[in-house]
Structure 1
């Protein structure tokens, strides 16, 4: 699934600046990185990374704009990492969808966001643990019992 409108990416977990997959897959391939928030979404704990899905909340992350010469490769690598094989593919762990994100100062931008695919979203609703406050980086650095 590599054909796509060249939108920036909203990232909220291991792809955020300074996190492990940012360092491995994005560092040196971006033209811009700004803090951003995704309204209408909820974040859930995962096995070393979070899951986002549609819901009544706000997820904190970053808007990453790949360098034009790196865009196609970044898109391919992120789709592979997120196990996103194509629209409505039953193998998808995440679906890549276009959403509006909020920027500092009140602006908005369209961005690709990887949200939990339907089977995963159903499982999260049934037995998942939401991350209070919607910020994975802050939550995982807070001691248990002091999660914000």
Structure 2
């Protein structure tokens, strides 16, 4: 199981197979007696009560990329490596676009609690649910995301670009399914 970092009410949880730690002594003694599956169920319950939502990011919103710091840093309560099915392109604008497809796209699931973040991400991605689809740069869709072994992890919002916009922005297919600003700046895809 990959290491997952959750933050709920200021208590950091580190989950990784049998490695479970909390920074509160009482919680540590209770959690030490629970199996990882029980902890995952408890985290799921907390998510439902707190109305948490996921966003699958594959470009400038990934940790370490430029828009992560402005829109996501300090606002996530969980970040997990994941992949989705689609087709990834490097655009002439200096960021990627994901289209519908059957290839593995590498990214990160960001979990948020504040729904205001989703509105900010919509603005960044030039998406408005009230606009006709052809006027949006991306469409926001809910998809299933997977872990490295192919097991479904969760549902997440993501931003999909139409084939028309991929052509308009001179998309170059990325067969690796992975985009980084470092490669984009060097002109390597």
CA–CA separation in structure 2 for the residues paired with 1:15 and 1:26: 7
TM, length-normalised to structure 2: 0.63
CA–CA separation in structure 1 for the residues paired with 2:66 and 2:176: 22
Aligned runs of 1:97-108 on 2, under 5 Å? 97-104=141-148, 106-108=151-153
Q: More relative contact order in 1 or in 2 (CA 8 Å, sep 6+)? A: 1
Q: Which residue of 2 aligns with 1:51?
A: 97
Gaps of 5+ in 1: none
Q: Structure 1 pair 6/96, CA: closer, same or farther in 2 (3 Å)?
A: farther
Deviations 1:71-93 (A, max 9, x none): x2210100000000116433100
Q: Is 1:91 the equivalent of 2:130?
A: no
Q: Is 1:133 the equivalent of 2:179?
A: no
- Count of residue correspondences: 136
Q: Which residue of 2 aligns with 1:23?
A: 69
Is the 1:92–1:117 contact (alpha carbons within 8 Å) kept by the matching residues of 2? Answer: no
Aligned CA RMSD, in angstroms, stands at 2.5
Q: Which moved more, 1:77-86 or 1:100-109?
A: 100-109
Q: Is 1:37 the equivalent of 2:83?
A: yes
